[in-house]
Amino acid sequence: MLMVGGMLFSMFFGAGNLILPPLLGLQAGTEAVPAMAGFLVAGIGLPVLGIVAVALCGGVRELAGRVSPLFASVFIALVYLTIGPFLAIPRTSSTAYEMLRPLLPGSDMIDPNVAAVAFSVAFFAVAFVLALRPGLLSRVLGKFSAPALIILIVLVVGASVLGGGGAVLEAQAPYNANAAAQGFLTGYQTMDLLAALCFGIVVAANVKQLGARDPKQVAGAISSAGVVAGVLMMVIYCGLGFVGAAMGGSLPDATNGATILAASASMHFGEAGAIIVAAIFLIACLNVCTGLISCCSEYFYEALPRIPLIAWAALFAVFSCAVSLLGLDAILAFSAPLLGALYPPAIVLVVMGLFHARCDKLPLMWPWAVLSTAACSVVAGLRDAFAPGAWLLLDALPFADFGLGWLLVALAGAAVGAGLSLAVRRKTAD
């Protein structure tokens, strides 16, 4: 279980997971504890449950296919695009650049736009080449990149703790109201629940190779391994959140966690700290970028084999390079409405997948609960992206102020689907 837990941790914890907790800690300030609690539920609890649900149902296509084959195809493609070229892959380049920019020689004399383009093109050129041989980077760097990241985090967090921390600010927007709910919504940006839907069947296969056989044993083994990975991630998230809270007095207007971590490392370790942080982020980001380009290319090549694998890899690398030039702040801002549209139906799928034996007896529950939730979340996501602040009828629903108005829609859809299933069953019996 320790081995599988370590594998789960490595699969989930990338460079992107490093940049969210520090910003949450800084912005939440005095409300950091409830905000972090909500973040942990979405960033750790949901992905672990997602792994278990996919394992119980036999794969993400089998899980989503209970809604409809068309929904499964569209939803899975959107999941791969989101954890790939839409958000996660561009974020790797933007994060690495944010960490390296202060260390580039003569950076104050180079046009920032030119430097960003040059770095992004070089970054994705290397990632594209490595994606065609994905095992190379893992063999060379995978053995020490994750331990090095953990050691770095321990050093930075330990320095903040031993240093006594700085002044903690009053909570800023959006954490100045309903901090726990906002922390939960911030947890969407880890994208780990969406990743869990793709990773679940792989984890289940590894658990079966270690001796687990029947579904209950597999689910129990995965849950135990999830606890191991979850504890590691919880300790790291809380530590990074502390770093962010402690830097509130120094960087009250920071807009991303990469800047906060770099400043904290420089404060406690001088120039060496900034160099170490930049190097580790570059390694981690390049590793994650390579893996995601390879993973997404493989999926779409299997779906559309007429287009060569190398063409898919090139397409994702070029598209991601273009998106990365928007900058880390813009990517994080864009991610909120997109993930807000995808996460609610994913959560409903996971919850129903955990109880699939019972839900399968009422088959119409699946499309009614999931599709009604998806419709609600997509409308809200479009509003947040193109007309933020506009009022929708959905805003009158309970928990809408917390960004959770879809909960009632999901329950109502499940109730309608259950009722229709029972009616069909009675009609068939008659």
Give ∠ CA 228-231-233 in degrees, rounded to 5: 110
The tens place of each residue's pLDDT in the chain, 430 residues long, gives 777 777 677 667 776 788 899 999 999 999 999 999 999 999 999 988 888 888 788 788 899 999 999 999 999 999 999 888 988 889 888 888 877 877 766 556 667 778 888 999 999 999 898 888 755 555 555 566 667 767 777 888 888 888 766 678 888 888 988 899 999 999 988 888 988 887 766 677 667 777 777 777 777 777 788 888 888 889 989 999 999 998 888 888 888 888 888 888 888 788 787 787 787 778 778 877 887 888 788 889 988 999 998 999 999 999 999 998 887 778 877 788 888 899 999 999 999 999 998 999 999 999 999 999 999 999 998 888 888 878 888 888 888 887 788 999 999 999 999 999 999 988 877 6
- Give start-end residues of each CATH 1.20.1740.10 domain in the chain: 1-325
Q: Which residue has the tokens 């056989």?
A: 213
CATH fold label, 1-325? Amino acid/polyamine transporter I (1.20.1740)
In this prediction, residue 22 carries a pLDDT of: 92
Q: Is 165 left (phi over 0), alpha (psi -120 to 50) or beta?
A: left
- What is the per-residue pLDDT across 313-351, written as a single tens digit (0 to 9) for each? 999 999 999 998 887 778 877 788 888 899 999 999 999
Q: Which residue has the tokens 């910003």?
A: 23
Cβ atoms 18, 281 nearer than 8 A:
yes
- What is the per-residue pLDDT across 386-411, written as a single tens digit (0 to 9) for each? 888 788 888 888 888 877 889 999 99
Query: For residue 36, what is the enclosing H or E element?
Result: helix 32-40
Where helices occur in 304-364 by DSSP H, the ranges are: 309-324, 328-354, 356-359
CB-based burial of residue 420 (10 Å sphere; 0-12 exposed, 13-18 middle, 19+ buried)? middle
Distance in angstroms (rounded) separating the CA atoms of residues 6 and 205 = 15
Q: Which residues contact 16 (CB under 8 A, 6 or more apart)?
A: 88, 91, 92, 95, 189, 190, 191, 288
In this prediction, residue 165 carries a pLDDT of: 61
In this prediction, residue 318 carries a pLDDT of: 95
In this prediction, residue 23 carries a pLDDT of: 92
Q: What is the distance in angstroms between the CA of the first residue and the CA of the last residue of the chain?
A: 51
